[in-house]
Chains A and B, each alone.
Chain A
Amino acid sequence: MNIFDILGPIMVGPSSSHTAGAVKIGNISLKLLQEKPVRADIILHGSFATTGSGHGTDRALIAGLLGMQPDDMRIPDSFQLAKREGLEFTFTNKTLKNAHPNTAVLSLTGETGHTIEVQAASIGGGRVEIHKLDGVDAFFSAEKPTLIIYNLDRRGSVSDVASVLSLNHINIANMHLYRAKKGGFAVMVIEMDQEISQYAVQLLEGLDGIQKVVYLNME
């Protein structure tokens, strides 16, 4: 924690968890979709459902999906801006099992038809955690440069990825593997100490059995 975590963040009110954190969740989801969203169906759970409207959580999530940062003064007007940008959206309140009280699930469709489902929680002070991707557990904060690699669950994938990173002088801070079922679809989440080049991302995409590589660098 540095002094600008105490005197800051500079943000649109009223709540660091319900407003600033929600913008961040929208923002990370936008990066994960990797293209302009045209449709967003959003589930709000727990305190996000009961106090979200009064805290502008709904407008904050849409603002994040439009690429705004937590201090963007246009956040209160995000619904109108979404209309102009061609983003359709719905909100549903629903109680989820075993979810953090400030949780949102965003089902997104992009302009070329890509889809993604992101379950994320706002854990306080504007900090957020992603908890699921497309229904599979995947736990990360996006505070460090992060790689999300969708792959087929098979032998060798991890070592292939690790060698590409090592050859590109990337130090892995954290690495976690998640899978829907044995031999099925799996997600590798790798948090790194350094940023990674576009070239290294392309190398990863070219590896056998890798379906999709998403590089998140929220800085």
Chain B
Amino acid sequence: MAFEALQEIVFACEQTKKAFWQVIMEDDMTEREVSRDGSMAQMKYTWDAMLQSASGYDRSLKSKSGLVGGDGAKMEDYYKEKGSESLCGEYVDRVIAGALQMGESNACMKRIVAAPTAGACGVLPAVLVPYYTTRGCGEGKILEALYTAAGIGQIIATRASISGAAGGCQAEIGSASAMAAGALVHLQGGNAQQIIQAAGMALKNLLGLVCDPVAGLVEVPCVKRNVIGAVNALSSADMAMAGITSRIPPDQVIDAMREIGERMDPAFRETAQGGLAGTAAGMEIAGRILSRFI
């Protein structure tokens, strides 16, 4: 990628009078030596795969460990029954259900799109699919939002990390949330500066989040962390659309995420030794699963 900072992408947008997504798409055309149509076709393929996995949710599935499955169905039943009566309202409840369902599908060995990782695969589709199906925006607009998200993710991967083993959950769910926040701002008609402000705020809110999977599996707490990633993206995008900015520039937020990840104890970086994995309940579950498998 030609950019090393979100602010550099914003400068490129201002100089060329192009949208954030266009700058990222043109960078992809250069990087992979493909035509505009070639780049778009790959993005459409990716979006179609996301839609397919969202609609392929199986409410009866349980993961092999038995820890995960069925919560996405419960949430779907809840919003269908409560409608606007629930605290978050039907739209946000749909997002919550979508995040749970995709996280569960991943844990149950269904096909998903890692975005940016498999563990965080629920965040982006959770905000995009309900937007696409209930707000009547066209597919083209969603593809633009995906380029926006990918550009943000690339900068985070370059400046910091998108791996839980390297940077904790902040690097997975935090990055996914920043990507989703930027994508939503694009869908809502925000400009490049608002896109990166939303990404910066979303990431900021999840800084320090550790990766502490029970029994080392991508199940507890990963599935529900997808929910906070998605809902945090909605609130960060709305803040950015209201004109609120991050007092710490978004690129420096990413640098802070890197520093926190580097100084994070290894027990909190996907090793299943600390945090929720290290609780009495977590250890008990791990022991039970291990004795069954070995």
Q: A: which residues have CB within 8 A of B?
A: 1-16, 19-20, 47, 49-51, 53-56, 59, 71, 73, 75-76, 93, 124-126
B46 within 8 A of A: yes
Chain B residues whose C-beta falls within 8 Å of the C-beta of A4 in the assembled complex: 42, 46, 150
Chain A residues whose C-beta falls within 8 Å of the C-beta of B217 in the assembled complex: 14, 51, 54-55
Chain A residues whose C-beta falls within 8 Å of the C-beta of B276 in the assembled complex: none
**Can you give 6 contacting A-B residue pairs, CB < 8 Å?**
A3-B31, A13-B112, A15-B218, A56-B109, A75-B109, A124-B163
Chain A residues whose C-beta falls within 8 Å of the C-beta of B216 in the assembled complex: 47, 50-51, 54
Chain A residues whose C-beta falls within 8 Å of the C-beta of B116 in the assembled complex: 6-7
Chain A residues whose C-beta falls within 8 Å of the C-beta of B149 in the assembled complex: 6-7
- Complex contact A19–B46 (CB within 8 A): no
- Complex contact A15–B119 (CB within 8 A): yes
- Complex contact B146–A13 (CB within 8 A): no
Chain B residues whose C-beta falls within 8 Å of the C-beta of A54 in the assembled complex: 63-65, 215-217, 219, 289, 293
Chain A residues whose C-beta falls within 8 Å of the C-beta of B153 in the assembled complex: 3, 6-7
**CB-CB contacts below 8 Å: B6-62 with A:** 24, 27-28, 31-32, 42-43, 45-46, 49
Given contacts A71-B49, A124-B165, 13 further A-B contacts (CB under 8 A): A3-B151, A7-B124, A7-B153, A11-B111, A13-B109, A13-B111, A47-B216, A50-B290, A51-B217, A53-B64, A54-B215, A56-B64, A71-B111
Complex: A49 Cα to B121 Cα, angstroms: 25
Q: B: which residues have CB within 8 A of A?
A: 1, 24, 27-28, 31-32, 42-43, 45-46, 49, 63-65, 105-119, 121, 124, 146-147, 149-151, 153-154, 157-158, 162-163, 165, 179, 215-219, 272, 289-290, 293-294
Least Cβ distance of B205 to chain A in Å? Answer: 21
- Complex contact B113–A6 (CB within 8 A): no
Least CB separation from B64: chain A residue: A54
Least Cβ distance of A211 to chain B in Å? Answer: 38
Least CB separation from A17: chain B residue: B165
- Complex contact B114–A11 (CB within 8 A): yes
- Complex contact B293–A14 (CB within 8 A): no
- Complex contact B46–A55 (CB within 8 A): no
- Complex contact A14–B162 (CB within 8 A): no
Given contacts A2-B32, A16-B114, A54-B64, contact A7 B106 (CB under 8 A): no
Chain B residues whose C-beta falls within 8 Å of the C-beta of A12 in the assembled complex: 109-112
Complex: A55 Cα to B272 Cα, angstroms: 14
Chain A residues whose C-beta falls within 8 Å of the C-beta of B179 in the assembled complex: 6
Complex: A53 Cα to B289 Cα, angstroms: 9
Chain A residues whose C-beta falls within 8 Å of the C-beta of B108 in the assembled complex: 13-14
Complex: A51 Cα to B271 Cα, angstroms: 11
- Complex contact B289–A6 (CB within 8 A): no
Chain B residues whose C-beta falls within 8 Å of the C-beta of A126 in the assembled complex: 114
